[in-house]
């Protein structure tokens, strides 16, 4: 990477750290530290909501998904606008109006302490782990690309994030998110522009070439529960997932609790409702354009440089044979793609698809070689965009994109650390350990909790590769209760619901999702949220009704 790119990255990291520390003076009491005294403008809160949801996985993984699978992932977000609308008229007035610090605190006011503690505990487990994986994703990629130890790449992103989150609290997190969102959008727009300018064909031809291999297939109207991304799983399952994430997950709820009023909180969510789908479409389009770009520029056979080196060194003869086949297949594909640009017809499209299949066939063999040599999973889709950024973007823009990836990771992690600390202190320390204490003590406890969660996230990220299966288990476990927690909050809005119904319903919802997950593993995970939420509401209302009758009968 060029010196100018390094300067951009270093200046950005220093700026975010220093600016966060500057905000310490406005966070001298607990409400200021955790909720910014409910004083932030809607647009800053709205950008923070978006930044929290947009992590480095989006910048590296979603763009790569665009390159390999096209636009179909966009359907995942189809439920988001509707979810924002529903949250705006239901959960936002409840939670903002209740003047709570955490979403779970409201559950105790409505139901009881055990429902609150269980939901808060589930949040701490899943978010604590996911915080580590958010840092690990770019950490692993940067470690391989730059040849650094993963501990160093995690520390480069983790240290400034923990520093500004501990010192500045939610104010620092929100204002850093605003800057990070601006940087991310700038980087995406710049990459799309550069990719279009560098293509040897017109944008119209580029889209026709991408379309000929299904990369522009964004909508699938088949109603199939086993298909991960369809229009219906996005609209129905996605609505439940997004309602659960944006309406009941403390990492998101805490964003809109910092808004000045209920209407400002609602408006902040509408920013995502308006812009999330276009932004994600742009992210996926980056991947599609990179795919087209590499039809005319020779891509590496293996995008992961560490695996490429080890495969070449361990089995040079086999590697060279595959490289020769790969070169020939690429030349055919290049000619076929130019054929579509010159004359778009069924025959040229068929020739291009056949050439693309040959290229992918050689790559599959090369990936198998890498897996055999390294003993590690060799899927290298997450290295496609870093390769493009490092070798094919102009100097300066490479630095901006790398900084944007780091920014995306940092903004997502900062919000999670902040919310983890809030739930730890408000839902456990203040609730069970020290119900009455000076404000300064809660503030100190919040800072300590933020730092401890930050260290925990960095450790998980550093050992993410060896902890892989554990993290997968936790993430899978997390998917069991996302819809169920939403169900509890929906029950909270139904006057007939009672505490016992909510608690039993929550357990029943998680068991139902677990049963579907193990009994019918082919059901797409987006439907789990629907199953969980509906089970909680149905069981919760049934138990509430029974418990009411029991009380009446006992009188």
Interaction site with other proteins (CB under 8 A): 71, 74, 78, 81-82, 84-85, 88-89, 93-94, 97-98, 109-112, 207-208, 210-212, 214, 216-219, 262-263, 266-267, 270, 273-274, 277-278, 281, 346, 349, 492-495, 499
At its nearest, how many Å lie between other proteins and the CB of residue 460?
Answer: 36
At its nearest, how many Å lie between other proteins and the CB of residue 71?
Answer: 7
At its nearest, how many Å lie between other proteins and the CB of residue 21?
Answer: 36
At its nearest, how many Å lie between other proteins and the CB of residue 401?
Answer: 25
Cβ closest to other proteins, residue 83 vs residue 414? 83
d(Cα 234, Cα 374) in Å, to the nearest integer? 37
At its nearest, how many Å lie between other proteins and the CB of residue 499?
Answer: 7
Structure tokens at 61: 């993984």
Cβ closest to other proteins, residue 95 vs residue 404? 95
Cβ closest to other proteins, residue 93 vs residue 514? 93
N- to C-terminal Cα distance for the chain? 78
At its nearest, how many Å lie between other proteins and the CB of residue 207?
Answer: 5
Cβ closest to other proteins, residue 87 vs residue 471? 87
d(Cα 371, Cα 145) in Å, to the nearest integer? 18
Cβ closest to other proteins, residue 209 vs residue 526? 209
In DSSP notation, 66-128 reads HHHHTTGGGGGGTTHHHHHHHHHHTHHHHHHHTT-SSHHHHHHHHS-HHHHHHHHHHHHHHHH
Whether 535 contacts 509, CB under 8 Å: yes
d(Cα 522, Cα 118) in Å, to the nearest integer? 29
Structure tokens at 62: 């979603």
Cβ closest to other proteins, residue 63 vs residue 126? 63
Cβ closest to other proteins, residue 25 vs residue 496? 496
Residue 397, beta-bridge partner list? none
At its nearest, how many Å lie between other proteins and the CB of residue 211?
Answer: 3
Q: Is the dihedral of CA 55, 136, 166, 245 positive or negative?
A: positive
Cβ closest to other proteins, residue 265 vs residue 531? 265
Structure tokens at 6: 């390094």
- Other CB atoms closer than 10 Å to residue 469's CB: what's the count? 8
At its nearest, how many Å lie between other proteins and the CB of residue 300?
Answer: 28
d(Cα 160, Cα 413) in Å, to the nearest integer? 11
Smallest CA-to-CA distance from 251 within 457, 535, 493, 473 is with 457
At its nearest, how many Å lie between other proteins and the CB of residue 73?
Answer: 12
Smallest CA-to-CA distance from 510 within 478, 472, 473 is with 478
In DSSP notation, 13-66 reads HHHHHHHHHHGGGG--SHHHHHHGGG-B-HHHHHHHHHHHH--HHIIIIIHHHH
At its nearest, how many Å lie between other proteins and the CB of residue 143?
Answer: 36
At its nearest, how many Å lie between other proteins and the CB of residue 277?
Answer: 5
d(Cα 184, Cα 193) in Å, to the nearest integer? 14
Cβ closest to other proteins, residue 246 vs residue 401? 246
Cβ closest to other proteins, residue 253 vs residue 531? 253
Q: What are phi and psi of 259, to 5 degrees?
A: -75, 155
Cβ closest to other proteins, residue 454 vs residue 505? 505
Cβ closest to other proteins, residue 346 vs residue 436? 346
**Residues 6+ positions from 65 with CB-CB distance below 8 Å:** 73, 284, 287, 381
Helix or strand or coil: residue 259? Answer: strand
Residue 40, beta-bridge partner list? 259
d(Cα 482, Cα 142) in Å, to the nearest integer? 31
At its nearest, how many Å lie between other proteins and the CB of residue 65?
Answer: 16
């Amino acid at each position: 990477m060029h010196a100018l790119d390094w300067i951009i990255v270093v200046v950005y990291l220093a700026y975010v750290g220093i600016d966060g520390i500057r905000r310490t003076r406005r966070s001298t009491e607990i409400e200021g530290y955790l909720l910014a005294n409910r004083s932030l403008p809607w647009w800053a809160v709205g950008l923070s909501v978006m930044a929290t949801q947009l992590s480095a996985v989006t910048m590296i993984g979603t763009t790569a998904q665009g390159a390999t699978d096209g636009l179909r992932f966009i359907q995942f977000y189809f439920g988001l606008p509707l979810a924002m609308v529903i949250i705006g008229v239901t959960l936002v007035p409840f939670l903002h109006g209740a003047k709570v610090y955490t979403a779970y605190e409201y559950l105790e006011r409505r139901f009881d302490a055990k429902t609150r503690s269980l939901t808060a505990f589930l949040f701490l487990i899943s978010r604590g782990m996911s915080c580590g994986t958010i840092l690990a994703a770019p950490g692993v990629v940067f470690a391989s690309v730059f040849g650094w130890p993963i501990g160093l790449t995690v520390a480069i992103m983790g240290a400034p994030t923990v520093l500004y989150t501990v010192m500045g609290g939610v104010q620092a997190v929100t204002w850093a998110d605003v800057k990070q969102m601006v940087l991310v959008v700038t980087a995406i727009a710049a990459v799309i522009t550069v990719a279009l300018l560098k293509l040897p064909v017109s944008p119209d031809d580029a889209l026709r070439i991408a379309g000929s291999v299904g990369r522009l297939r964004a909508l699938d109207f088949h109603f199939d529960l086993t298909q991960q991304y369809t229009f219906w799983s996005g609209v129905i399952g996605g609505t439940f997932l997004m309602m659960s994430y944006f309406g009941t997950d403390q990492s998101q709820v805490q964003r809109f609790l910092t808004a000045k009023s209920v209407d400002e909180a609602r408006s902040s969510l509408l920013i995502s409702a308006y812009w999330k789908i276009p932004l994600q479409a742009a992210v996926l389009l980056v991947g599609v354009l990179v795919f087209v770009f590499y039809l005319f520029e020779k891509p590496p056979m293996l995008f992961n440089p560490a695996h490429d080196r080890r495969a070449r060194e361990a089995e040079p003869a086999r590697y060279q044979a595959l490289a020769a086949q790969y070169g020939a297949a690429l030349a055919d594909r290049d000619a076929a793609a130019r054929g579509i640009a010159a004359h778009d017809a069924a025959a040229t499209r068929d020739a291009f698809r056949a050439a693309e299949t040959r290229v992918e066939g050689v790559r599959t063999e090369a990936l198998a070689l890498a897996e055999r040599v390294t003993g590690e999973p060799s899927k290298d889709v997450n290295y496609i965009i870093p390769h493009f950024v490092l070798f094919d973007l102009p100097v300066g823009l490479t630095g901006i994109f790398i900084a944007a990836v780091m920014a995306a990771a940092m903004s997502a992690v900062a919000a999670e650390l902040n919310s983890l600390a809030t739930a730890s202190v408000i839902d456990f320390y203040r609730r069970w350990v020290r119900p009455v204490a000076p404000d300064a003590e809660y503030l100190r406890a919040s800072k300590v909790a933020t730092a401890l969660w930050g260290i925990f996230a960095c450790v998980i990220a550093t050992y993410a590769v060896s902890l892989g299966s554990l993290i997968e288990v936790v993430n899978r476990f997390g998917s069991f209760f996302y819809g169920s927690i939403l169900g509890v909050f929906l029950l909270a809005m139904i006057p007939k619901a009672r505490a016992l119904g909510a608690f039993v319903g929550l357990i029943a919802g998680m068991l139902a999702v677990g049963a579907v997950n193990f009994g019918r593993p082919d059901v797409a995970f987006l439907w789990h949220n629907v199953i969980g939420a509906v089970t909680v509401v149905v069981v919760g209302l049934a138990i509430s009704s029974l418990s009411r009758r029991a009380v009446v009968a006992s009188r």
